[in-house]
Structures are given as structure tokens and as C-alpha cells.
Structure 1
Amino acid sequence: MNIFLKTYQAQTNTYTNPKMKDRKTLYATYRKRVETILESFTDGFFEVNNSWTVTYWNRTAEELLKIPKDTIIGKNLWDVFPEAVRLKFYTEYRRAMSTQTSTRFEEYFYPKDMWFEVSVFPNGQGLSIYFKDITERKKTAEELESERKKYRDLFNQNPLPQWVYDIESLAFLDVNQSAIKSYGYSREEFLAMSILQIRPKEDIAEISVILNEVKKSGQPMTSSVRHLKKNGDLIYAEVKGTPIMFNGTPARMIVAVDKTTEIKAELAKQKSIEKLHEITWIQAHEVRRPLSNILGLVSLLEADHCNPENTVLIQKLMDQAKELDQVIIKTAKSTNQHLL
């Protein structure tokens, strides 16, 4: 075996004791030592010569591929594994043999339903090959990739604007298609900005307070804020933030709900209420002031008893004034009830 011979030659070159003459014994000793080392490997290991004949096959190789060494040593590798001829095993082994350069690769071996990581080392008379089972690692990676794809699909297909930002730098880390469409920035523009750049300048101080609270709490939070679109439009939004790890970076995922229509309607309602208050005040003060003057004049006329004809007129004037007063009071009450 090539690896035994190389180890033997390296070791015998260090000996100068003339009594060590039995090279066959020395070779056998080191062959045993190297074999013990190779058999202790947790990786599969085998060797082939330049004719692709298997010259060594360790215990782990037996266990991984379910082929005993006494059934494969001395046989052509490709006769034992004809399925491998169509895979990387064949092309990479041949390249390493022809160029005398080492190589490392991963490949799926479908007859065993296993993934292998393979390291190939030319030794001048063939190849020394180490391989390990990485099936579980591959499955874990595939599951992780599947979860990432689900996240990407949910993220991008969400009809509500969503983004992820760095909790420290406040830079956008990711943004979905709905945010791009709603706010007017391209994905590249978003990723070159921080979240402060979509806020009105006059709101920065207030937003900084909210962000500090978010950073300290590390909990999901909901806030009402104002955002600026690329075209300058100002919108009112309810943002819901959740802490996440994004590619190893502490971050927050934001879902933004446009509340502009509702808030503008509320502002219009408040304006109407203010107008009604103004009307109520006018009714209660401006209209009742001349009415109070009329009632005062009636009182003066009542004091004049000299003209009996005034009595009927005074009574009629008094009745009309009181009726008008009741109308004003009723209107004011109705307005107040509407405001409530």
C-alpha cells in the first residue's frame, strides 16, 4: 500500500542503528502502525492505484458503504460502483489522478441515499481518498433553506408593507414588494437608506424616543407614526415591530398599516366638532344677547301702566321672546348631544 510504503521510507531514513537490518520486519511494524491509525479514523478511507484497483479499505468505509474489505480489495473501483461513473466521484477522481493535484467536493450518492464530503490526495502511485457522511448536515441545510424560502414567500407576498431594519444602525436590511410599491423607492434605494429617512424631519425627535424604548424593551410594540413617500406624500401609519435575528444581526421586522384615510376622517370629524362648538357658542351668546335686550325693554314697558293698550302688546311680545328663548335652548341642547 502506497501510504504504508511512504511512511516506512520516511521513518527508516531516520534510523542509523546498524543492527536494524531486517527491513521486512521494519516495514511490517510500520504497516501495522499505519493500519491501526487508518482503522481508527472516523472518516471512511481507501486507496486505489493508477489502474483504479482498490488497495486499501478501512473499517469506516465498510460501515458507511456496507461493503466488506475482502470483497472490494483487488477489484476495479468503477466495476464495484458503476453508478458513480455519472457523478462527481468519477470526474473528480480522474482529474486528481491526471493533474496530480488534491481536490475536495461534496456529492450525493443516490444508491445509498447519502451525501458525502470527499477529499482526494494523489500519492504518485494512485489516490488516497477520505470521505465522510454529511447527510444530516445536508438535510439540516435543506430544511433551513426551505424555511428561508417560506419566510421569503410570506414576506414578499404579504399585501402589507414590511421591512427589516438593523436595531443599531437603523439601516434597512430587507424590504418586501408591497413596501416598494407603496412608498415608491426601489429595493436598492431602500437598502441604501435608514428608517429615519422615511420620517418627516419634525418627527425625528419623537421617533428617537420610541426607538430608544424599543431597543430597551426588546419586545413587540405598536406605534402610530407618520411616513414620507418618495414623492413627498405624507401618510399616517400604524407600525407593528417584532424583534428578530436577520443573518446574525439583531433586527426588527416591521409591518406598516396605512391609516391615512381613517385618521384624515377623524381629523375632519374633529374639525366639524370644533365648528359645532363655535355654532353653539354663537347660539348661546350672540343670539341670546339681543333677546335679553328685548326682554329688558319689555320689563320697562310693563312698568308703564298709563296706557292700557300696552298691556296686550307687552304680553304678546313677552310670549314671543320666551318662545324664541326656548328654541335657542333646545337647539343648543341638540347640538351638545350631537357633539357627545
Structure 2
Amino acid sequence: METLPQMSNENKNNNLAPQDDDVMHSIFFNTSADLFSIISNDGFFIEVNAAWKSTLGYSKEDLVGKPFEKFLHPDDIEKTSLEFVNMVKGQEVINFIRRYRASDGSYKWLEWKGKVSEKNNRIYAVSRDVTIEKQLETELLSGKEIYKEIFYSNPNPMWIFDLETLAFLEVNQTTIDQYGYTKEEFLSLTLKDITPEEDMPALMSSAIKAISEYNADHELWRHITKSGEIIFAELSAKSLIYEGKKARSVIINNISKRVEAEKALLESENKYRTY
């Protein structure tokens, strides 16, 4: 009776086959909510992912072969061109925010990160829609009444907390829905009550820094809901004076599903590498 050939130790220790690696990169590229793009060193789109369609309304055919400057707000072209030159020279550009025209003629704020590849001299960039954050920043600084409307109707969790006591001063409905506490319960809690014990030193250190730093962007935290579930939260925060108190306005992006997907993909990758 014939037996199946035994897998050699060499094969067991091999990394993923090139085609497997290509598949995983394709999954990340095409399913991410962030806008991925590959741009030539003279500023033309070479490749984009599906998030461009869902965010700005442009298909791949609308963008590939076109200069990225064509979609910029006229007032942002000069500044962006300077940043692009820096990227082509090899400098990694992080967190620059510019306005891009959507297919309906409106403008959205995109926050960019990009770096040139030494292998092919192309720019590999990722951006995300920060239009809501920019609106909030504008309204916070101007003190307009519309800020309240943005805060309470925001599809992302938002809260305001006291910088000295870390007590919650205000929360929006999305926070209540995702964390499970009533508004009254939230206003009796502090950030310590929703932070895992092992993360407490980092929380206290962050609170001290927040007193002297106006902004916090893309910080990753774990929060505990009323049911005990752990939420992975990416947050941005701005300082303000709220009802006479030094406070912090926070907007949360719940990335728990993304973290779970990345964990599953890593486990799958490790599984492949054992064969």
C-alpha cells in the first residue's frame, strides 16, 4: 500500500509561499476601511483600493493614471506638493491632513501617511477620512452651537472628561449604546472605571501628559463595557474648557473587529508556516 510522502523539515519551516503572501496582502489592501494607494514618483495614481469608492465615490478607473493633485482642494496643492517632494526624497511623511474633492463635488479631509519604496521608487500611502474630527476641531475652537449637534448625533462614541478627576462630564448616545451604561451611570464614573487594571499606569501617565498637550491622535486603548467585554478603541482628543473645568473632548473609533480580524489572519499565517 502506498503512503503519502512525508513533508520534509525544510518544507515545514518554510515561510508562506509567494502566492499565499500575495493573497493576504490583497485581502488587506482591498478590504481595509482606510484608503490605500500606490503613486508614481511623478504624482500619478498607479493603484488604489475599494475604500476610495466608499469614501470619495471614485472607482479605480476614475483614479488610476490621474495625478493625485487633480483631486486636491486648490488651496492645498502647494503645501501637498512640498510634502510629496519630501516623500520622493525618502522622507516618511506622517499625519498630514489635506482636503480632497469627492465625486459629488464636496470636499473631505484625509489624513495621510506615506513612504517611498527603495526598490521601485514608488510612493506607498494610506489615508483615512478625518472630516468629522476636523469639523469638531473647528467648532470647538469657534465655540459655535453646532458643535453640540455634531457631538450628540455623532455615529462614533464621544465623551468629555475632567482632566483633573478623570470623571465623565458628558457622553453622546453612541457611547451609551456601545458601552452599555446609561447616561446617569456614565456621569457617576471616571475613566478608571472603564480601564483594565493592567492599563492603569498608562492611563495615569497619559492624564498627566494631557494637561500640557492640546491634542492626542490615534491612541490605542482597551475599555471595559458594562457587560465586561473588552473594546479596542482608537481615540483622538482635544483640550477645552467645559463648564469652567479643564477638560478633554474624545472621539472613539471602535476597532475591535479589525483587531480580531488581524489576529485571525496572523493565526492563519502562523498555521501556514507550520506546514
TM-score by length of 1: 0.37
Q: Which has the higher strand share?
A: 2
**Larger Rg belongs to:** 1
Whichever structure has more helix as a proportion of its residues is 1
